[in-house]
């Protein structure tokens, strides 16, 4: 008998570790609510996790089994379950953050120290190419994405893994009575969000689980992937995949996702795209490749984190002197509320509160604004995103924030500073996205929306009296940002 420990792989399909355990079978599937992990979560993610686990439990019940739910330290709970059920080994998929690596080390040690010793086995599952498998010619992990991407894309991609069948799983009647003595373990009974110490989120969340994720993937690869390159940076177009939370929680496998993009690529090469309303300038094959490139970015940042776990809280890039970030709580609060007086920034921050999500391009804009206009430490922005995003992914979010702050690997040069007015005009020219989330500006001419920070006070009161004036002057702050980074670089 095998015990499979679900973590960020909340699915039965295309699951490398689960498939390996099922090959030997039968399998007892389990999930453990770990306080050390929950400590870094916010209400949207906890709610989405609970919904995803409910879907996972249903998938096991459909197969004549059930999901064992534990609460507490996995290094304590897993040996208890394993010993009680006399399993041969505990199997799980590898994690790559510092927290995951330390937790795995403790779990292995506890299984080795158990009486009798319990076997254990891990598998790479969350990525197509695990950290360390793509290196420079000198054998070092890549710190420049372009070179990493070339090798990543040329490597063979594994096909999706098969799902376990009923015969591969343990029936729940064999579990309940044997696990009953343990208060921290139940069969099929999920805690409420209140039990876990969280309140229901105010944000609206999408449907969770593998079937919902597959619906999003199918919708994207049916049409939007072919216009992705042209429109992915335009938030009003809604041309992105909407799969970020699914890949973060693992409700869909990366091999299944990539295979769907290859099927789309075959359609593009065959010209089988009749009836699709694509931009005139769209290159369908190039668009599919661009989305695959974004999947590679995800793995690049994960590799950076795996080899540099300290970058969760420390700058990846070293400067000669410390960066003298400002201490300005009022500005930080205005940024969080979406009341900076820069429309595209405020729209993004309000979308975050409303949906626990923000469009990818807008994430870059609000991160640049925090670090280069407000001159605030990227870690404050990262912490807020971690709490409020439903799709928070440590590697992606740390990588993105450090890119914007010019402190990361392959980062935005410090002297390239986003102009939030230009960004809004370029990527939301008709102010449709802004109008969706900033109702004070819905009746305002788009040209005036994009000129808002440059209007005088009288004109602003006349156009939209309820919307705030800009809290900083972009041109002035740009010069201050340049001086701040030049001082960090040790330049006179």
pLDDT averaged over every residue in the chain:
95
Q: Are both 270 and 357 inside the same structural domain?
A: no
Q: What is the mean pLDDT of residues 252-277?
A: 95
Q: Are both 291 and 333 inside the same structural domain?
A: no
Q: Are both 344 and 480 inside the same structural domain?
A: yes
Q: Report the pLDDT value the prediction gives residue 181, as an integer from 0 to 100.
A: 66
Q: Are both 342 and 284 inside the same structural domain?
A: no
Q: Considering the domain boundaries, does residue 408 fall inside one?
A: yes
Q: Are both 336 and 447 inside the same structural domain?
A: yes
Q: Are both 343 and 244 inside the same structural domain?
A: no
Residue 95's pLDDT band (boundaries 50, 70, 90)? very high
Length of the chain: 492
Q: Considering the domain boundaries, does residue 423 fall inside one?
A: yes
Q: Which of 244, 363, 222 is nearest to 295 (CA)?
A: 244
User: Are 252 and 295 spatial neighbours (Cβ–Cβ below 8 Å)?
Assistant: no
Q: What is the mean pLDDT of residues 89-114?
A: 95
Q: How many CB atoms lie within 10 A of CB 471?
A: 17
Which tens digits make up the pLDDT trace of 78-87?
Answer: 999 998 889 9
CATH number at residue 337: 1.10.579.10
Q: Considering the domain boundaries, does residue 7 fall inside one?
A: yes
Q: Are both 472 and 359 inside the same structural domain?
A: yes
DSSP 480: H
Q: Are both 346 and 446 inside the same structural domain?
A: yes
Q: Are both 87 and 38 inside the same structural domain?
A: yes
Q: Report the pLDDT value the prediction gives residue 471, as an integer from 0 to 100.
A: 98
Least confident of 209-223, 271-285, 470-484: 271-285
Q: Considering the domain boundaries, does residue 187 fall inside one?
A: no
Q: Are both 337 and 456 inside the same structural domain?
A: yes
Domain that holds residue 299: 210-307
Q: Residue 238: pLDDT above 90?
A: no
Q: Report the pLDDT value the prediction gives residue 137, as an integer from 0 to 100.
A: 93
Q: Are both 118 and 249 inside the same structural domain?
A: no
Q: What is the mean pLDDT of residues 225-251?
A: 96
Q: Report the pLDDT value the prediction gives residue 178, as an integer from 0 to 100.
A: 76
Give dist(CA 260, CA 245) in Å, integer: 18
Q: Are both 301 and 394 inside the same structural domain?
A: no
Q: Is this model's pTM higher than 0.85 or not?
A: yes
Q: Report the pLDDT value the prediction gives residue 492, as an integer from 0 to 100.
A: 63
CA angle 297, 303, 305 (to 5 degrees): 105
Q: What is the mean pLDDT of residues 356-362?
A: 97
CATH number at residue 76: 3.40.50.620
CATH number at residue 228: 1.25.40.80
Number of structural domains in the chain = 3
CA angle 290, 293, 294 (to 5 degrees): 95
Which tens digits make up the pLDDT trace of 148-181?
Answer: 999 999 999 999 999 999 889 998 877 767 777 6
Q: Considering the domain boundaries, does residue 292 fall inside one?
A: yes
């Amino acid at each position: 008998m095998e015990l499979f420990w679900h973590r960020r792989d909340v699915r039965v399909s295309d699951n490398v570790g689960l498939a390996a355990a099922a090959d030997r079978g039968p399998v007892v599937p389990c999930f453990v609510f770990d306080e050390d992990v929950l400590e870094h979560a916010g209400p949207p993610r906890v709610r989405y996790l609970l919904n995803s686990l409910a879907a996972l439990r249903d998938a096991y019940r459909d197969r004549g089994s059930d999901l064992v739910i534990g609460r507490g330290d996995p290094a304590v709970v897993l040996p208890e379950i394993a010993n009680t059920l006399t399993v041969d080994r505990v199997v799980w998929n590898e994690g790559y953050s510092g927290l995951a690596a330390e937790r795995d080390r403790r779990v292995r040690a506890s299984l080795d120290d158990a009486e009798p010793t319990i076997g254990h086995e891990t598998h790479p599952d969350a990525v197509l190419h695990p950290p360390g498998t793509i290196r420079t010619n000198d054998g070092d992990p890549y710190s420049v994405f372009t070179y990493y991407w070339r090798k990543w894309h040329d490597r063979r991609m594994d096909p999706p893994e098969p799902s376990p069948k009923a015969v591969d799983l343990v029936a729940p009647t064999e579990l309940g009575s044997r696990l009953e003595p343990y208060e921290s373990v139940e069969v099929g009974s999920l805690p409420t969000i209140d039990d876990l110490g969280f309140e229901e989120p105010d944000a609206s969340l999408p449907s969770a689980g593998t079937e919902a994720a597959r619906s999003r993937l199918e919708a994207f690869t049916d049409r939007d992937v072919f216009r992705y390159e042209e429109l992915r940076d335009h938030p009003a177009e809604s041309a992105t995949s909407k799969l970020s939370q699914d890949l973060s929680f693992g409700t869909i496998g990366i091999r299944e996702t990539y295979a769907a993009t290859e099927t789309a690529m075959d359609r593009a090469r065959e010209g089988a795209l009749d009836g699709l309303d694509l931009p005139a300038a769209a290159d369908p094959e190039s668009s599919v490749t661009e989305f695959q490139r974004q999947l590679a970015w995800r793995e690049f940042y994960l590799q950076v984190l795996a080899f540099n776990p300290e970058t969760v809280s420390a700058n990846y890039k070293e400067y000669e002197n410390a960066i003298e970030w400002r201490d300005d709580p009022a500005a930080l609060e205005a940024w969080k509320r979406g009341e900076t007086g820069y429309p595209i920034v405020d729209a993004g921050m309000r979308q975050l509160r409303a949906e626990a999500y923000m469009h990818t391009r807008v994430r870059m804009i609000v991160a640049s604004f925090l670090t280069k206009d407000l001159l605030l430490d990227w870690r404050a922005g990262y912490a807020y995103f971690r709490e409020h995003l439903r799709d928070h992914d440590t590697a992606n979010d740390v990588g993105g924030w450090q890119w914007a702050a010019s402190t990361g690997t392959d980062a935005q040069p410090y002297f390239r500073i986003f102009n939030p007015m230009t960004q809004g005009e370029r990527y939301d020219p008709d102010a449709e996205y802004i109008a969706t989330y900033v109702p004070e500006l819905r009746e305002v001419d788009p040209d005036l929306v994009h000129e808002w920070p440059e209007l005088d006070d009288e004109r602003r009161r006349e156009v939209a009296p309820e919307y705030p004036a800009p809290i900083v002057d972009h041109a002035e702050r740009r010069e201050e940002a340049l001086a701040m980074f030049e001082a960090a670089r040790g330049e006179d």
